[in-house]
């Protein structure tokens, strides 16, 4: 049964567990929803930079990850995500200095926890979807309304580059999500 009403939150579980498909999408049994990719770009240094813009409603974020495309050189650097209206999405303690090309960064859904990462692309904890710790559950990671999802890197010197992808389930009929 497709989602037909605005903010039909009870349908999220059905979509993730039952094989229901939202018309015009590829969401199905166990699916993560729609996917938007932001092309690789230089990492922002000590400023918040929008990477995705949500408009027209609410989404259930099922995944937010980045892939290192250029090594971040220079002094010590940390990474953090935030929603410009709702606030930070992790604790901002992940050190990314010198991470190799192909390193993957993923949110867990725990705002008090760090971004998890896998050097060279191997992630042991791929966010709440597969984590087994008591502090992690199941998707969605976050429910977010209109605004920008942003990233920042604290950096003493040097800049790397990261590509980002967001997977989500729309909870409103007219919601749109685009790469910023």
Tokens of 92: 């901002």
> Taking 50 as the threshold, does the pLDDT of residue 59 lie above it?
yes
pLDDT-derived band at 158, boundaries 50, 70, 90: low
In a domain, 8, yes or no: no
The distance in angstroms from the start CA to the end CA of the chain is 32
pLDDT-derived band at 124, boundaries 50, 70, 90: very low
In a domain, 127, yes or no: yes
140 preceded by a cis bond (ω within 30 of 0): yes
Tokens of 7: 């903010």
Can you give the residue range of the structural domain that contains 123?
34-179
In a domain, 27, yes or no: no
pLDDT-derived band at 30, boundaries 50, 70, 90: very low
If one counts the domains in the chain, the total is 1
Could you give the CA distance from residue 66 to residue 89 in angstroms, rounded to a whole number?
Answer: 14
pLDDT at 55: 97
> Taking 90 as the threshold, does the pLDDT of residue 115 lie above it?
no
| Ramachandran area for residue 140 (φ above 0: left; ψ -120 to 50: alpha; else beta) | beta
């Amino acid at each position: 049964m497709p989602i037909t009403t605005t903010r039909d939150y009870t349908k999220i579980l059905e979509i993730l567990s039952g094989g229901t498909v939202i018309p015009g999408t590829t969401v199905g049994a166990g699916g993560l929803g729609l996917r938007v990719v932001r092309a690789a770009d230089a990492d922002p240094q000590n400023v918040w930079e929008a990477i995705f813009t949500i408009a027209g409603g609410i989404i259930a974020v099922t995944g937010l990850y980045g892939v290192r495309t250029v090594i971040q050189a220079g002094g010590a650097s940390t990474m953090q995500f935030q929603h410009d209206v709702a606030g930070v999405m992790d604790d901002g303690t992940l050190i990314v200095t010198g991470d190799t090309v192909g390193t993957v960064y993923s949110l867990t859904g725990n705002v008090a926890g760090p971004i998890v990462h896998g050097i060279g692309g191997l992630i042991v904890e791929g966010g709440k979807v597969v984590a087994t710790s008591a502090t992690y559950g199941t998707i969605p990671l976050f429910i977010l309304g209109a605004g920008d999802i942003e990233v920042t890197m604290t950096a003493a010197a040097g800049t790397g580059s990261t590509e980002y992808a967001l997977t989500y389930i729309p909870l409103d009929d007219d919601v749109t999500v685009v790469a910023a």
